[in-house]
Structure 1
Amino acid sequence: MGIFIIASTFIVLIVCLLRPRNVKNVYFAAQLYSKIAWLLGVKVTITGQENIPAGSCVYVANHQSNYDIFFLTAAVPSGTVSIGKKSILYFPFFGLIYWLSGNIFIERGNKIKAMQALKKTKEKMLKKNMSVWLFPEGTRNYGKGLKPFKTGAFHLARNAELPLVPVSASSYYPNFRLNRLNNGEMIIKYLPPIDKETLLTQPVREVVASVYEKINNEIALLDEETARANRRAVKQHTP
């Protein structure tokens, strides 16, 4: 796995240097890093693609751990960048790749600068017809339940007058082991989008609460589905 990560990072860095800050870099990197899921013994299944809008939108998903870079990246659509905290820039190699890929940094501790970054993001989305992927929890939950949502992603969708697509990923972190060949299945599901009319007419806090409930309820359903699938797999391999 270490060799694969080093090799893929080198490849992504070369591609990003050849076309710096190109929105296509994110999809290329996401598809490459997502291949590591197989080495980690995780089968990633993606559903609900019919809910992806034709144009730009804002995706909001639950965030379990740093391993999401190997699992959730499989679901990142082409033409989509992510928004991450500025401290990512200082991670060796990864910070440089994250910036060169065209992703966007935001200073979460500085409200004024954060709002300025979101305004620039909105302008870039509309100009380049790109989408944005965010983790509204603002941090990793480590499989201990969905944390409260911040409102930045919802304000971004509202101000840009673009649909917002909730994304639910089944829980993998509590039972994940690096030294295990089979870590079961992880299901990522796109939920029906929240249209711009709803975002413009309903109070942001109400939309946040509604989306939180939708994502949380879907995670519970996906967890039941993966648990059944994993039990079937165990029975099939039991003598």
Structure 2
Amino acid sequence: LFCFKSSGIILGCTLLPIRVFLAWILLIAAWIVAVPRLAGLSQEERSKPLSGWRRWLFHPILWLLGRAVFFCVGFHWVKVKGRKADVKEAPILVVAPHSSFLDMVIMFPAGVPSVVSRSENINLPVIGALLECNQSVLVSRRDPESRKEAVSELNKRVTSDGSWPQILMFPEGTTTNGRCLLRFKTGAFVPGVPVQPVVLHYPNELVNAVNTQINVCLFIVLQFLPVYTPSEEEKKNSRLFAGNVQKVMASALGVPASDYVMAGRIPVSKLNDLSVPLEARLDLPFTKSGLFIMMIDRMIDRCRSGAEGTKASAEELASILGLNKKTAIHICSLYSKDDTVDLRHIYFNMAALIGHVDEISLFHSAFAAFDREGRGSLTKEELTELMGALLGVPQQSTEELYDTATEDQEQLTEESLLLVLTTHPIYQKVTKEILQSKGLPSANGTSVNNNRSLLNSSVNEDKKSE
């Protein structure tokens, strides 16, 4: 064990700096090639597939430089099984599992197809220019209109009879440990065109930054499965299409096909358009004490104060809840991608969990908190924030819930929303299982809460430090 750790440290100290240096040199070289590829083109011309010298001159150079980057990272040889389908056979390549950024090595055996990427990535140095050069489809996960535009653009490309390059997508939508396949998002399956499943096999037990540093070379097997042509029923039902492709890929990998998706770091199930956590988000060991009630009151006072607002940093959250900074940062990470959090989300989630107020009072307080202008109604965006606070996980969209609650009226009032949440055959499960703090059952029928051990350990650390 000592020899293994020593060799890992030595290889990490020598290989990592060399690999990072060479990779960045090659990425900068690729950026230099990518910029002139689109030079002189108007926005309208950039919305069309590249052709002529802009494709045949730059494409092989970018392929070579990109493959060289992954050679430096450690992929000296990539084993490929099966045959990659032509763009006319399968306009979309769906790849799983998605373990890390290293999965992008598939770009080169696949011929550098276009990809679907977060719109925020276009602002990254070098990477943004490469995405633009690749004519990637950009989408903002937080903007429903952006998602609609992305679906429209995707549909246009995959029905162009081969004019556009293939589109490569990771249908899980997030990175996982590869031990099961998360439920596929439907984006790749909405157009209803044939797709080619591609599965990734890593002979290494784990593939992460540590392995990259301490291994001289990395191994991967890319397996192109037969093209999956949807039936007429699957063309009309993208959820069915996605589920059947997921099962085919899970079978090829020898892993289970899960019906769960991920909201940030939290596994959730779907109730129509709502993401419902499989477990309680927070369960502090002192939630029943009077001390905790005082902390809750302080959080409410902070939310009501116009000066400081509802946003709090990890340091402020630690002070309010009496936690150490490590735990506060972890809590922030559950609700956002930075070290800040909306205190309303934490308050309503905690209040629901500990029964600080009854569910009707909690709902009334939540509605008032997100009705910013005090008009007695909520917009779609405010409803999305409200349900995110009550359920404890960010919601991408609540459009179905909004339409259901406003079916007979123009505005979403507190009464109409509460009526749907307490009487609708699907949405009433939210009220019963979340607002009444019963939690969601695990696979064996028992309630689970994996956050307890982490928070208990953090409190123990506080006691030790004292």
Calculate the TM-score normalised by the size of structure 1: 0.76
Q: Alignment partner of 1:88: what SS?
A: helix
Partner of 2:171: 136
Equivalent residues of 1:106, 1:114 under 8 A apart? yes
- How far apart are the structure 1 equivalents of 2:236 and 2:21? 49
The SS at the match of 1:133 is strand
Query: Could you list the per-position Cα deviations for residues 108-131 of structure 1 after superposition, in whole angstroms to 9, with x for gaps in the alignment?
Result: 222332122221232234443321
- Hey, what's the Cα distance between the residues in 2 that align with 1:215 and 1:26? 30
Q: For 2:182, give the aligned amino acid.
A: K
Corresponding residue to 2:93 among 59, 63, 66: 59
The match for 1:166 is 197
Q: 1:101-180 residue pairs with structure 2 within 5 A?
A: 101-127=134-160, 128-156=163-191, 158=192, 162-171=193-202, 172=204, 174-175=206-207, 177-180=211-214
Pairing partner for 2:128 from 95, 101, 115: 95
Match of 2:80 in 1: 46
Q: SS of the counterpart of 1:130?
A: coil
From 218, 223, 236, give the equivalent of 1:189.
223
What SS does the aligned partner of 2:249 have?
A: helix
Q: Is the CA contact (8 Å cut-off) linking 2:230 and 2:241 kept in structure 1?
A: no
1:121-173 CA distance string (max 9 Å, x none): 322344433211111111111445322211011003x1xxx311111001357
- CA distance, structure 2, for counterparts of residue 38 and residue 84 of structure 1: 23
Structure-1 separation of matches of 2:59 and 2:145:
27
Task: Indicate how the Cα distance of structure 1 residues 140 and 53 shifts in structure 2: closer, same or farther if over 3 A, else same.
Answer: same
Q: How far off is 1:183 after superposition?
A: 4.4
Which amino acid in the other structure matches residue 45 of structure 1? Answer: K
2-structure distance, mates of 1:104, 1:199:
27
What is the match of residue 220 of structure 1?
A: 254
Q: Which residue of the partner structure matches residue 230 of structure 1?
A: none
1:232 is matched with which residue?
A: none
Following superposition, the deviation at residue 97 of structure 1 comes to 2.0
| Partner SS for 2:176 | coil
State the partner residue of 2:384.
Answer: none
Matching residue of 2:111:
77
- Given candidates 26, 29, 39, the residue that maps to 1:8 is 26
Change (3 A) 1:214 1:196: closer
Contact 2:234 2:241 in 1 (8 A): no
Report the Cα offset of residue 203 of structure 1: 2.7
C-alpha contact 1:59 1:134 (8 A) present in aligned 2: yes
Does the Cα contact within 8 Å between 2:28 and 2:126 map onto a contact in 1?
no
Q: In structure 1, what is the Cα distance between the partners aligned to 2:183 and 2:61?
A: 31
CA offsets 1:36-62 (integer angstroms, 9 cap, x no match)? 34333333211211x513525111102
- Aligned identity (percent) is 17
Normalising by structure 2, what TM-score? Answer: 0.42
Q: By how many angstroms is 1:93 displaced?
A: 1.9
**Matches of 1:199 and 1:33, distance apart in 2:** 40
Gap regions ≥5 residues in structure 1: 222-239
Per-residue deviation, residues 162-216 of structure 1 (Å, max 9, x unmatched): 3111110013571551233444521011111112545755632222111111112
- The CA deviation at 1:26 is 6.8
CA shift digits 1:205-229 (9 cap, x unpaired): 22211111111222239xxxxxxxx
Partner SS for 2:190: helix
The separation in 2 between residues aligned to 1:83 and 1:185, in whole angstroms, is 25
SS of the equivalent of 2:175 reads coil
Between 1 and 2, higher relative CO (CA 8 Å, sep ≥ 6) is seen in 1
Query: RMSD in angstroms over aligned alpha carbons?
Result: 2.8
1:34 aligns with 2:67: yes
Separation in 2, partners of 1:113, 1:27: 31
Over 3 Å counting, the alpha-carbon distance change for 1:19 and 1:41 in structure 2 is closer
